[in-house]
Every structure is written in structure tokens, then in C-alpha cells.
Amino acid sequence: MGMGWCIGLIAAGAILTFAVDWRIDGMNVHLAGLILMAVGTLGLSAYVSVLRRRRVQPPPPAAPVVEEDHRFVP
């Protein structure tokens, strides 16, 4: 689920919760809106945490260790 879908779920849930005055038998529209907002918020937080993990770059490799031979050879 992408970031756009998550924001869309939050927006649709907010519309159902705060802007709609429908009465449907057997369904609470306001509760459905709250559930959509919760799912959108959880999806958005999961997406952002995965996106943050992908953007972390590994540290640069350490410089190779060079060992010099200081023996005296005549």
C-alpha cells in the first residue's frame, strides 16, 4: 500500500466520520470512517518506517590495512 492510498483512506474516513449524515441499516457510517482513518494511519506509519530504512546508506568501507615489512635484508 503506497503513501497515496494511505492518505486517501485517511481522507475517506474523515469524510465518512465528520461530513456525512447518512443512516444505513445495519452499519454505523461514523465507525466505518474511524476504522478507515485508523487503517490509513497504520499503513502510513508502516510505509514511512520502511521508506526510512531503505534510505539509510551503509557506512563507507574502511581503508585497507597495509602492513609493511621492516626487516633488514643485506
| Residue predicted with more confidence, 52 or 4 | 4
Query: Residue 18: CB partners within 8 Å, gap ≥ 6?
Result: 33
| Residue predicted with more confidence, 61 or 7 | 7
In one letter, which amino acid is 40? G
Is residue 63 in a domain?
A: no
> Which pLDDT tens digit goes with each residue over 6-59?
999 999 999 999 998 888 899 999 999 999 999 999 999 999 888 777 666 677
Is residue 62 in a domain?
A: no
Number of domains in the chain: 1
Is residue 31 in a domain?
A: yes
Is residue 46 in a domain?
A: yes
Model-wide pTM > 0.75:
no
Averaged pLDDT for residues 68-74? 70
Give pLDDT, residue 15: 95
Whether the CA torsion 67, 68, 71, 74 is positive or negative: it is positive
Is residue 37 in a domain?
A: yes
**In degrees rounded to 5, what are phi and psi of residue 27?**
-145, 135
